[in-house]
C-alpha cells in the first residue's frame, strides 16, 4: 500500500454481488430513455438499489462520455465521494483516478482520462467559477438530494439556471425518499407553457422514475422509558443482541466522533469478558474524520465466527451501503448545523432526528434478510418527531454560499431560485459579515480584489480574509501553515487506547502560551523539520502522520492559489528564537483577528467565555490550550456542542483594542 488510492482499491472485497442482480438493472433501458429524452430525471429508490454505483456506468456505456465529456456524480459528503469512486473503479476494472476518479476539497484524484467523476456538490459549485456552464459535463447526477445539504440546494438552483442555457445538459437527481415531486416541481416551475403534447407532470422538463428495491421487513422496537445515556444503552443493546440473536452484523447510529470513540472503547472492554467459546465482536468506527483506509474496514466482511459492530454517524444512513447489517441501534439524534443570527455563531449540535430519518435508519437492517431496529427512545417520542429535517439552507451560516453566488454573478440573493428560500434574517446576517470582512461593498457587490479572491479560495470566508490580509502583517508563511492545520478539523492528534496521558504530554511540549493557532504552527514546523520522512516521529509525539502529511499538501494548494493571485510567498525560516518570535506571534494574532472578530469571546471570572454581545456561554474545549487556563479576550475557529455544553476549539488570545481597530468595529456597530 503506497498511497491512499491504492489502499482504497485493495480494501474493497473483490467478491461482490453481480450488479445485474441489483434492482436498478431492470430499469436500465427506461432510465437511459428518460435521460436521453428529458433534461431532468428524478430517480427515487431505496438505499442499496444501485443508484450511485450503477447509473454512472450505464451512462458511460451508453456513450455519454464520448468526445471527452464527463459524467459527474455529486455527493454531500467527502467520505461518500471517495468510497463510491473506489467501488465503481473496481467494478469497471479500472484504476482509481483514471477512468473513474474523485475530487473533493484539497484532494483531486482524476486525470485527463477520467470519464466518471465523483465529487462533493460544494466542489462542483466551485468549478462553476472557472467554467460557468460546467461545459465538461454531459450529465450531472445530484446524488442524495433528499438530504438537502446547503450545497446541494444551491447547486440545484445553479443547475437550473445553467440548463436554460445548455439544453444538451442532462440533470439526474437521485433521492432515497419521497421528495421526488418537490424536485420535479422545482425544475418545472416558471417554465413556459408545456403545450399540448406534454400534459404529464414535469411537462417537457422531466420525469420521475422509481426503482422499487426489494426490502425485507424490519421490526422496530422502542425503549420502554426515556434513555438517559444512549451511548451506554447502545453498548448494552449490542451485548443483548449478541447473546440472544442469530448471526448478523450490527449498525449503531450515534452523533459524533467522541461518542463513537467512547462506544468502541466500551464495546472492546466488555468483549474481553465474553465466553471464550462465544462468537467474537469486532467494533469498527465510521465517521468523516477517519482516514480513507480506516473507513474502508467497515466494508470488509468480518472474520469467521465474528460479529461486526459498526458505530457510525449519519454517514451510514443513506450515503454508504454496508452489506450484512441485520440489526440497527438508533440513538434518535443527529448532529446538525444551526446558525444563530443573534450571536452570529454556527453550532453543530445533537438534535432529534426526523421520522423520515428514523425510517431510513431502520431500513439499513432489512437489505439482505428481515431485520430489527432498536430505537433508544420511546414510541411517544417517535410520534413527536418532525416528519422531515429542516433543510440546511434554513439553518446555516449563508456567508460562504452567498460569496460563491456573488462570484457566479448572481447578485440578488433574495431572487435566486432556491428550492426552499432561506429566511431573510439569515441572508441579512451573512451579507453583514461579508461586508465587515471587506468582501462586499456598500452596494453588496464583491470588492476587487479582496471579495473576488475570498470567493475563489477554497476556505470559509473568515479564514480567506485572514489569508489575504497576512501579507500586510508580514506573516503569510505562518498563516498558510495555520490555515492548513485548522483545515484538518481536529485530526492532528492521535492516541492509541490508554495512551491519552502520553498525548497530553506531547501536546504540552508544543504548547505556545498565546493559544492553539500558534501551537499548531509549532507542531507543523517541528513536523516538517523532524518528522516528515517517517511515521515514527509522529507516533512518538502522538501526532497523526496521515493528517500531518495532508496538512503539507493543503498548504501547498493554498499557496498555489495565492501565487495565482500574484501574491508572492516568502517562506520564513522555522524555529527562530528571541524577541522576533514574540513580535511575529503578535502579528499573527492580529492577522487572525481581522478574519475572526465575529468569533471573539471574553473570559468570565468563572473561567467560561461569553460572546461579544454576552448572550452565549462558551467553554474551552478540552483539546484546547485554553482549557483550564486564564485569558481575557480570545478569538476561536469553531464551536462544537457535546451534551449540553458549547465548546470552542482552536482558541487564541487577543487584545480587545484589536477588535476596535478600523474595519473590525463595523461588525459590532452594525449589530448594536
- Provide the minimum distance between the beta carbon of 321 and Mg ion in the complex, in angstroms, as a whole number: 7
DSSP reduced 3-state for 148:
coil
DSSP reduced 3-state for 515:
strand
For ligand CDP, the binding residue among 8, 22, 446, 450 (CB under 6 A) is 22
8 versus 419: smaller Cβ distance to ligand CDP: 8
Considering CB distances under 5 to 8 angstroms, the limit depending on partner class, which of Mg ion, ligand CDP, none binds residue 26?
A: none
Contact code string over 32-51 relative to Mg ion, x by CB under 5 A: -------------------x
Question: How many CA within 13 A on the CB side of residue 538?
Answer: 22
Binding of ligand CDP by 146 (CB under 6 A): no
- Give the cell for residue 548: 500531518
Tell me the C-alpha distance between 493 and 524, whole Å.
12
Residue 333 Rama label (left phi>0; alpha psi -120 to 50; beta): beta
Binding of ligand CDP by 58 (CB under 6 A): no
Contact code string over 76-115 relative to ligand CDP, x by CB under 6 A: -------xx--x----------------------------
45 versus 531: smaller Cβ distance to Mg ion: 45
Could you write out the DSSP letters of every residue in 333-354? EEEEEEEETTTTEEEEEEEE--
Contact (CB, 8 A) for 211 and 45: yes
Of 346, 598, 566, nearest in space to 456 by CA: 566
For ligand CDP, the binding residue among 9, 45, 285, 391 (CB under 6 A) is 45
Binding of ligand CDP by 361 (CB under 6 A): no
* Sign of CA pseudo-dihedral 69, 75, 77, 80: negative
Considering CB distances under 5 to 8 angstroms, the limit depending on partner class, which of Mg ion, ligand CDP, none binds residue 22?
A: ligand CDP
Contact (CB, 8 A) for 8 and 296: yes
Stretch that binds ligand CDP, among 14-22, 412-420, 464-472, 639-647 (CB under 6 A): 14-22
142 versus 227: smaller Cβ distance to ligand CDP: 142
Of 599, 655, 619, nearest in space to 466 by CA: 599
Helices (H), 437-499: 450-456, 461-469, 476-486
- Provide the minimum distance between the beta carbon of 143 and Mg ion in the complex, in angstroms, as a whole number: 6
Looking at the DSSP assignment, which residues form a beta bridge with residue 374?
Answer: 221, 329
- Provide the minimum distance between the beta carbon of 52 and ligand CDP in the complex, in angstroms, as a whole number: 3
Tell me the C-alpha distance between 413 and 252, whole Å.
40
153 versus 317: smaller Cβ distance to ligand CDP: 317
Strand order in the sheet with 116-120: 107-109, 100-104, 116-120, 70-75, 137-142, 170-175, 40-45, 206-211
Question: First and final CA of the chain: distance in angstroms?
Answer: 57
Beta strand segments in 512-554, E: none
Interaction residues for ligand CDP, span 618-637 (CB under 6 A): none
211 versus 426: smaller Cβ distance to Mg ion: 211
21 versus 192: smaller Cβ distance to ligand CDP: 21
Pairing of strands 633-642, 600-603: antiparallel
Residue with cell 448494552: 236
209 versus 434: smaller Cβ distance to ligand CDP: 209
The length of the chain in residues reads: 672
Tell me the C-alpha distance between 349 and 136, whole Å.
38
141 versus 440: smaller Cβ distance to ligand CDP: 141
Q: Which DSSP symbol is given to 114? A: -
- Provide the minimum distance between the beta carbon of 51 and ligand CDP in the complex, in angstroms, as a whole number: 3
Burial class (CB in 10 A: 0-12, 13-18, 19+), 662: exposed
Contact code string over 316-355 relative to ligand CDP, x by CB under 6 A: -----x-x--------------------------------
Q: Give backbone dihedrals phi and psi of 371, rounded to 5 degrees, phi first.
A: -135, -175
52 versus 313: smaller Cβ distance to Mg ion: 52
Stretch that binds ligand CDP, among 51-59, 196-204, 464-472, 600-608 (CB under 6 A): 51-59
Tell me the C-alpha distance between 138 and 349, whole Å.
39
Interaction residues for ligand CDP, span 267-306 (CB under 6 A): 299
Contact (CB, 8 A) for 170 and 39: yes
118 versus 524: smaller Cβ distance to ligand CDP: 118
Of 381, 386, 416, nearest in space to 398 by CA: 416
- Provide the minimum distance between the beta carbon of 179 and Mg ion in the complex, in angstroms, as a whole number: 15
For ligand CDP, the binding residue among 49, 179, 312, 642 (CB under 6 A) is 49
The size of the interface with ligand CDP (CB under 6 A), counted in residues, is 18
52 versus 163: smaller Cβ distance to Mg ion: 52
Stretch that binds ligand CDP, among 44-52, 386-394, 436-444, 642-650 (CB under 6 A): 44-52
Contact (CB, 8 A) for 71 and 92: no
Binding of ligand CDP by 214 (CB under 6 A): no
Interaction residues for Mg ion, span 49-78 (CB under 5 A): 51-52
52 versus 611: smaller Cβ distance to ligand CDP: 52
Considering CB distances under 5 to 8 angstroms, the limit depending on partner class, which of ligand CDP, Mg ion, none binds residue 541?
A: none
Pairing of strands 218-222, 100-104: unpaired
177 versus 608: smaller Cβ distance to ligand CDP: 177
For ligand CDP, the binding residue among 5, 41, 52, 470 (CB under 6 A) is 52
Binding of ligand CDP by 149 (CB under 6 A): no
Tell me the C-alpha distance between 267 and 270, whole Å.
5
Considering CB distances under 5 to 8 angstroms, the limit depending on partner class, which of ligand CDP, Mg ion, none binds residue 661?
A: none
Chain residues binding ligand CDP by CB under 6 A are 16-17, 22, 45, 47-54, 83-84, 87, 299, 321, 323
Residues that bind Mg ion (CB under 5 A): 51-52
Amino acid at each position: 500500500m503506497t498511497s491512499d488510492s491504492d489502499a482504497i482499491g485493495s480494501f474493497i472485497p473483490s467478491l461482490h454481488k453481480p450488479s445485474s442482480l441489483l434492482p436498478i438493472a431492470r430499469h436500465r433501458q427506461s432510465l437511459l430513455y428518460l435521460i436521453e429524452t428529458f433534461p431532468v430525471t428524478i430517480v427515487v429508490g431505496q438505499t442499496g438499489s444501485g443508484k450511485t454505483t450503477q447509473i454512472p456506468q450505464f451512462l458511460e456505456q451508453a456513450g455519454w462520455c464520448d468526445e471527452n465529456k464527463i459524467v459527474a456524480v455529486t455527493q454531500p459528503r467527502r467520505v461518500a465521494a471517495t468510497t463510491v469512486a473506489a467501488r465503481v473503479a473496481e467494478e469497471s476494472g479500472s484504476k482509481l483516478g483514471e477512468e473513474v476518479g474523485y475530487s473533493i476539497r484539497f484532494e483531486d484524484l482524476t486525470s485527463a482520462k477520467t470519464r466518471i467523476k465523483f465529487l462533493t456538490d460544494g466542489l462542483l459549485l466551485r468549478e462553476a467559477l472557472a467554467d460557468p456552464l460546467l461545459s465538461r459535463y454531459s450529465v450531472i447526477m445530484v446524488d442524495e438530494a433528499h438530504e438537502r445539504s446547503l450545497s446541494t440546494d444551491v447547486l440545484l438552483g445553479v443547475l437550473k439556471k445553467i440548463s436554460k442555457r445548455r439544453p444538451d445538459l442532462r440533470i439526474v437527481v437521485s433521492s432515497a425518499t419521497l421528495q421526488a415531486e418537490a424536485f420535479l416541481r422545482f425544475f418545472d416551475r416558471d417554465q413556459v407553457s408545456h403545450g399540448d403534447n406534454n400534459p404529464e407532470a414535469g411537462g417537457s422538463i422531466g420525469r420521475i422514475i422509481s426503482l422499487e428495491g426489494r426490502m425485507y421487513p424490519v421490526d422496530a422496537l422502542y425503549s420502554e422509558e426515556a434513555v438517559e445515556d444512549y451511548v451506554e444503552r447502545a453498548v448494552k443493546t449490542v451485548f443483548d443482541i449478541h447473546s440472544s440473536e442469530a448471526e448478523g452484523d450490527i449498525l449503531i447510529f450515534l452523533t459524533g466522533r467522541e461518542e463513537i470513540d467512547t462506544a468502541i472503547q466500551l464495546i472492546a472492554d466488555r468483549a474481553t469478558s465474553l465466553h471464550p467459546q462465544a462468537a467474537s465482536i469486532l467494533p469498527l468506527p465510521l465517521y468523516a474524520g477517519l482516514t480513507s483506509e480506516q473507513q474502508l474496514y467497515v466494508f470488509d466482511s468480518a472474520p469467521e465466527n465474528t460479529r461486526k459492530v459498526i458505530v457510525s454517524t449519519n454517514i451510514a444512513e443513506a450515503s454508504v451501503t454496508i452489506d450484512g447489517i441485520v440489526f440497527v441501534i438508533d440513538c434518535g439524534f443527529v448532529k446538525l448545523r444551526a446558525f444563530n443570527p443573534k450571536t452570529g455563531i454556527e453550532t453543530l449540535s445533537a438534535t432529534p432526528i426526523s421520522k423520515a430519518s428514523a425510517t431510513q435508519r431502520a431500513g439499513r437492517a432489512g437489505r439482505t434478510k428481515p431485520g430489527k431496529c432498536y430505537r433508544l427512545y420511546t414510541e411517544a417520542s417517535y410520534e413527536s418527531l418532525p416528519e422531515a429535517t429542516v433543510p440546511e439552507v434554513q439553518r446555516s451560516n449563508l456567508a460562504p454560499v452567498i460569496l460563491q453566488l456573488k462570484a457566479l454573478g448572481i447578485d440578488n440573493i433574495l431572487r435566486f431560485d432556491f428550492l426552499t428560500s432561506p429566511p431573510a434574517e439569515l441572508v441579512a446576517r451573512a451579507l453583514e459579515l461579508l461586508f465587515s470582512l471587506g468582501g462586499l461593498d456598500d452596494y453588496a457587490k464583491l470588492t476587487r480584489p479582496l471579495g473576488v479572491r475570498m470567493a475563489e479560495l477554497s476556505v470559509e470566508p473568515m479564514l480567506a480574509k485572514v489569508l489575504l490580509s497576512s501579507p500586510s502583517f508580514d506573516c503569510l508563511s505562518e498563516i498558510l501553515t495555520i490555515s492548513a492545520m485548522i483545515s484538518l478539523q481536529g485530526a492532528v492528534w492521535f492516541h492509541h487506547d490508554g495512551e491519552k496521558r502520553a498525548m497530553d504530554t506531547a501536546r504540552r511540549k508544543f504548547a505556545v502560551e498565546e493559544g492553539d493557532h500558534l501551537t499548531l504552527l509549532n507542531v507543523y514546523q517541528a513536523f516538517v523539520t523532524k518528522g516528515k520522512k517517517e511515521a515514527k516521529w509522529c507516533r512518538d509525539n502522538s501526532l497523526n502522520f496521515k493528517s500531518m502529511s495532508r496538512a503539507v499538501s493543503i498548504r501547498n494548494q493554498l499557496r498555489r492559489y495565492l501565487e495565482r493571485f500574484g501574491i508572492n510567498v516568502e517562506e520564513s525560516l522555522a524555529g527562530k528564537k528571541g524577541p522576533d518570535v514574540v513580535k511575529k506571534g503578535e502579528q499573527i494574532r492580529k492577522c487572525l483577528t481581522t478574519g475572526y472578530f465575529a468569533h471573539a469571546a471574553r473570559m468570565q471570572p468563572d473561567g467560561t467565555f461569553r460572546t461579544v454581545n454576552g448572550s452565549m456561554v462558551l467553554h474551552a474545549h478540552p483539546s484546547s490550550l485554553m482549557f483550564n487556563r486564564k485569558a481575557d479576550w480570545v478569538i476561536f475557529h469553531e464551536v462544537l456542542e457535546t451534551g449540553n455544553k458549547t465548546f470552542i476549539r482552536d482558541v487564541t488570545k487577543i487584545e480587545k483594542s484589536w477588535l476596535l481597530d478600523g474595519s473590525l468595529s463595523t461588525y459590532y456597530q452594525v449589530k448594536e
